[in-house]
Amino acid sequence: MSYRLMKGNDALAEAAVRAGCRFFGGYPITPQSEILEYLSSRLPEVGGTFLQAESELSGINMVYGAAAAGFRAMTSSSGPGFSLLQEGISYIASAELPAVIVDVQRYGSGLGDIFQAQSDYHQATRGGGHGDYRMLVFAPSSVQESVDLMGLAFDKAEQYRNPCLILSDASIAQMMEPVKLPEMQEVDPDKPWAAKGKNGGDFKRITSTMYYIEDFDGYIKAKFDSMAAAEQRWENVEVEDADIVLVAYGISSRICKEAVAIARSRGIRLGLLRPITLWPFPTNAFKEVNSEVKAYLTVELSALPKLEDDVKIACEMKTPVKHFLGGANIPESSAIVEEAVSILNSREEVSWLKN
């Protein structure tokens, strides 16, 4: 199969179609609008439905309806729009329906701005909406990975009957890279649970499953525990002997890979732990790290540290965890190396308390 040069957003959209997505309802917002634009012509070609909704609130609820009817359905948004999706995502999770949501992260609270950021980490990984649920959160670091994770997200959403999130950002969404696209998948929407009229059988009630499950607390905890155990994904780069291990996902991880190469060429033992799933956070990845590692250094495009929290939990606070933040500014790989060197040379004991 040959490569095609595609923009991140277009590639995500095409990958969704090839994963069998047949419904999209959403609202324009930069930097994700190309997903709508692409699907507005692409979905009808495959007999699917594209609907530009009157708001993100409406869009996510259209997705809820299409998913309830058994179809693979998706919406995408960014920043303020992602906030508006949260109630609907909570309903989809509570009804145990599959759906895929894309958040192309942009910078800032409130209106913020349209450039890249990784500030929605907590909203993405902690549930975002009300109540007891998590989404499987996939964090692509390239256009190709956006494509690969989109197919996986639809499959996992259906396997667990739970919404999945693709957490992209403005830079990956807007860059162009060569991609290999998967074959077109046809997916049967006639699931036994789908709302399509009872057709002589029992009537189906698509609502919070808590009303019909005994010991729901235990049931739902076991569901998310099993996802947490089975779905951790990561990539480790030279962590076995590293004195400092960078932790970064998405666009930041690409800068960190370069930092590792620069450091290694200078004889500095730097490594990178790249979470591919942010929920579940890949705690197992830490088992591959040098047991003598001196510190972790998280690199996030966020004005406040967030990923750092999960790293502290993963290493049970036994190893110092520092952060290197790029909010409105994208850090240079050389600056990350210098930060790592200064941590190594620091005469004080490196402590998570000093962050």
Partner 1 sequence: MAQKLIPELLVEDNKFCPGCGHGIVNRVLAEVLEELGLADKAVGSLAVGCGCLMMDTFGTDWVQAPHGRAAAVAVGVKRVRPECCVFTYQGDGDSLAIGFSETMYAAIRNENITAIIVNNGIFGMTGGQMAPTSLPGQRTTTSPKGRDAALTGQPLNIINQMKNLPVGYLARGSVDTAKEINKVKKYIRTGIETQMKGGGYSMIEILSPCPTNWKMTLQNSLDHIRSTVRATYPLGEFVKDGERTDA
User: Where on the chain is the footprint of partner 1 (CB under 8 A)?
Assistant: 22-23, 25, 49, 51, 53-55, 57-59, 61-71, 73, 87-88, 91, 95, 189, 195-200, 203-208
* Tokens coding 218: 């235990």
Instruction: Choose between 13 and 95: whose C-beta lies nearer to partner 1.
Output: 95
Q: How far is the CB of 16 from partner 1 (least distance, A)?
A: 15
Cα torsion angle, 239, 256, 149, 129, sign: positive
Q: How far is the CB of 13 from partner 1 (least distance, A)?
A: 18
Instruction: Choose between 53 and 152: whose C-beta lies nearer to partner 1.
Output: 53
- Backbone angles phi and psi of 250, in degrees to 5: 55, -140
Residues listed for the chain: 355
Q: How far is the CB of 214 from partner 1 (least distance, A)?
A: 16
Q: How far is the CB of 284 from partner 1 (least distance, A)?
A: 36
Residue 335, helix vs strand vs coil: helix
Q: Cα–Cα distance between 249 and 251 in angstroms, integer?
A: 6
Torsion of CA 142, 187, 37, 86, to 10 degrees: -80
> Of 138, 115, 123, which Cα lies nearest the Cα of 282?
138
Instruction: Choose between 70 and 79: whose C-beta lies nearer to partner 1.
Output: 70
Q: How far is the CB of 353 from partner 1 (least distance, A)?
A: 43
Determine the Cα angle at 291 with ends 286 and 293, to 5°: 85
Q: Which residues, including other chains, have CB under 8 Å from residue 233's CB and lie 6 or more apart?
A: 138, 275, 276, 277, 282
Instruction: Choose between 15 and 95: whose C-beta lies nearer to partner 1.
Output: 95
Instruction: Choose between 182 and 189: whose C-beta lies nearer to partner 1.
Output: 189
Give strand pairing partners of 163: 99
Continuous segment of H or E residues that includes residue 300: strand 295-300
Q: How far is the CB of 182 from partner 1 (least distance, A)?
A: 23
Instruction: Choose between 53 and 301: whose C-beta lies nearer to partner 1.
Output: 53
Q: How far is the CB of 129 from partner 1 (least distance, A)?
A: 10
Residue 27, helix vs strand vs coil: coil
Instruction: Choose between 85 and 137: whose C-beta lies nearer to partner 1.
Output: 85
